[in-house]
Structure 1
Amino acid sequence: MLFIFPANPIAPRRVDEHFEPEAMAARSAGHTVAVVDHDALCRGTAEEAVRWMNRPDDGAQTNTALYRGWMLTVRQYTHFAAAAAQRGVTLLTSPSSFEHAHWLPRWYGALSEFTPRSIWTEGANLNAFEACCVRLGSGPAVLRDYVKSLKHSWEEASYIPDVANLPAARAVARRFLELRGEDFAGGLVVRAFEQFTTTEARTWWVQGRCVLVTAHPDTPGDLPTGADLQSVAPTVAALGLPFVTVDLVLRADGVWRIVELGDGQVSDRPKSTSPETFIEAIAGAFGA
């Protein structure tokens, strides 16, 4: 299997230090490792980004690759996939599948039974945001964009005590937009607040099958037990996505809920899960 990792900004032919343990585990397991220049992808120069990527006839063992790296926008990933294809490498996750897993509005309809009620805008218009609050009704909510929340700025840019208080909700949204800046993605998403009683479990799915359950990277030493995979498995499988993460958490009434679906390529591995365990589970599920 071919794994593509971000290049080290200082030594561009080497893997970025954050992903080096996974790269070493992949090599030890007999897989091929290549690098991509993440900074170049962010600049919009995808052809430059893949300049260190060997063509299959230059020694790579396969022309189908799995990316493991930093977050990318849908546009950046699309350009990355096209540039890789020009070098004879096909990413296992297509740009359309990446968007489906990456943007909440793309997956919400299929998973709405298992995740908090959500209403969103297209773009950053605050009047449209207030209309979403009105539709949600009243009570607490959590704010995010299509890709990410700011839970580390909980009070000022994430938690809305009551969506019926439109001036207060607008202030949270305005601060959210300030903090997200150029990273703001898609639109504003208002999600009904639900009381959870555990940390999150990150579950890893390959071709619709859960192959690994880990702690969440934010709480690597705290893995909740008993996550209900059976109830969500048919729905996750029906999405038809090659590699995703599903973050599960226990609600106060004892029901396991989905708080996030993400593309597995850009989902971080908790330090409590060894890179060897991770690579074996993922590569093995892909039949490599």
Structure 2
Amino acid sequence: MILLVPADPLRPRRPDDHFAAEAAAAGAAGFEVAVVDHDALAGSGDASRAVTAVTAGGVAVYRGWMLSADRYAVFADLLADRGVILRTSPSEFRRAHELPGWFGALAAVTPRSVWTEGPDRVDFDRVRTELGAGPAVLRDYTKSMKHYWAEAAFIPDLGDAASAWKVASRFLELRGDDFAGGFVLRRFESFTSAEVRTWWVDGVCVLVGSHPDTPDDAAPPDLDLATVAPLVAGLGLPFVTVDLALRADGVWRVIELGDGQVSDRPATIEPWAMIDAVLGRGAAA
């Protein structure tokens, strides 16, 4: 098993500081580690130089900065030319990384959602009407702007067309060229806990921890995944994260499913624990 991490932009032979601890833990555990040029990979130009430091063949897991599904597919092709196969295929990455890919399987345990294909207002108004009046949260296929909650994420009433579009327009402005897929409108639900991030390999939960945004809020010891587990397993994805929060009525709800390769690790999960769970189990499987 090979761990691929982004290179430090100023010291391209070394791992980026954000992923250096995981790289060191993987090396200490006997796994091959190689760096890739994320800027070359994520850009719109020639990405071939991104993988020049990858020399060993085999099965690989990426732990790095976010990539679009299209650029991940380019990444996979470049690695395949070097005899390296990503454990998560491009189609699997898209299903995990983009909400329309996983929503259907988890619809029973996550807020009701509708989406467009693209940023047109006509389509936005169509799905806004479909979801119906009331509060909603706006995002695109891969990301919300929750840190701009009042201006680009929360819509108090979808029945107010002008106000809803104002939020959508600000969202588009902030996302810019990173806007992914289309608008997603999710029915607002009231939560009473911080989010918990869970890590899954081959449909099995291997780690439970705090969310990177709230690392000091420890995951509850009695987190019940019995309802969620068969749904996540049914997706058949090799490596994902599932973020959950406790709704006001005491029910745990899925906030997000994401590809584990581009999901941030909270500081409260030790690097060796991540490597043991993600690479160790994957190698054994």
TM-score, normalising length: structure 1: 0.96
Q: Quick check: 152-161 or 25-34, which moved more?
A: 25-34
Q: Is the 8 A contact 1:201 1:227 kept in 2?
A: no
CA contact (8 A) 2:4 2:35 kept: yes
Task: State the match for 1:235 in structure 2.
Answer: 231
Matches within 5 A, 1:166-177: 166-177=161-172
Unpaired runs of 5+ residues, structure 2, are none
Specify the alignment match of 1:79 in structure 2: 74
Partner residue in 1 for 2:157: 162
Compute the displacement of 1:66 (Å): 0.4
1:218 alignment partner, one of 208, 213, 236: 213
What's 2:130 paired with? 135
Question: Do the aligned partners of 2:208 and 2:219 also contact (CA within 8 Å) in 1?
Answer: no
Deviations 1:35-55 (A, max 9, x none): 110000122422110011113
Q: Does 1:190 align with 2:185?
A: yes
Q: CA deviation at 1:287?
A: 3.2
How far is 1:273 from its partner? Answer: 1.0
The 1-side partners of 2:226 and 2:55 are apart by 41
Please give the alpha-carbon distance, in whole angstroms, between the structure 2 residues aligned to 1:154 and 1:105: 22
| 36-45 or 264-273: bigger deviation | 36-45
- Farther off after superposition, 191-200 or 46-55: 46-55
Q: Is the Cα contact below 8 Å between 2:136 and 2:154 reproduced in 1?
A: yes
SS in 2 for 1:20: helix
Q: CA deviation at 1:228?
A: 2.1
| SS of corresponding position for 1:234 | helix
Maintained 8 Å contact 1:227/1:248: no
Query: Contact 1:200/1:223 (CA < 8 Å) preserved in 2?
Result: no
- Write out per-residue CA displacement over residues 139-158 of structure 1, whole angstroms, 9 at most, x where no aligned residue: 10000000000100000000
**Equivalent residue for 2:24?**
24
* 2:195 corresponds to 1:200: yes
Match of 2:5 in 1: 5
Whether contact under 8 Å (1:220, 1:272) holds in the other structure is yes
Shift of 1:13: 1.2
State whether structure 2 residue 107 is matched by structure 1 residue 112: yes
Distance in 1, matches of 2:5 and 2:219, equals 29
Residue 3 of structure 1 deviates from its aligned partner by 0.2
SS at match of 2:17: coil
Q: Distance between the aligned counterparts of 1:197 and 1:240, measured in 2?
A: 30
Tell me how far apart the structure 2 counterparts of residues 85 and 224 of structure 1 sit (CA, whole Å).
38
SS of residue paired to 1:19: helix
Of stretches 128-137 and 195-204 in structure 1, the one that deviates more from structure 2 is: 128-137
**Is the Cα contact below 8 Å between 1:4 and 1:36 reproduced in 2?**
yes
Amino acid at match of 2:32: T
From 279, 283, 286, the equivalent of 2:279 is: 283
> What are the ranges of 5 or more consecutive residues in structure 1 without an aligned counterpart?
57-62
Match of 2:263 in 1: 267
Shift in Å at residue 272 of structure 1?
A: 1.2
Counterpart residue number, 1:180: 175
What per-residue deviation string (whole Å, max 9, x for no partner) do you get for residues 205-236 of structure 1?
A: 00000000010000011023132211111110
The residue number in structure 1 matching 2:55 is 54
User: How many angstroms does 1:278 deviate by?
Assistant: 1.2
Q: Which moved more, 1:83-92 or 1:44-53?
A: 44-53
AA paired with 2:215?
A: P
Shift of 1:128: 1.0
Distance 1:234 1:145, change over 3 A: same
* 1:202–1:214 contact (8 Å) kept in structure 2: yes
- Aligned to 1:248, the other structure's residue is in SS state strand
CA contact (8 A) 1:149 1:158 kept: yes
User: Shift of residue 75 of structure 1?
Assistant: 0.8
Letter matched to residue 214 of structure 1 = G
Q: Matches of 1:271 and 1:224 in 2, distance apart?
A: 13
- Number of residue pairs matched by the alignment: 282
Verify the 8 A CA contact 1:158 1:172 in the aligned structure 2.
Answer: yes
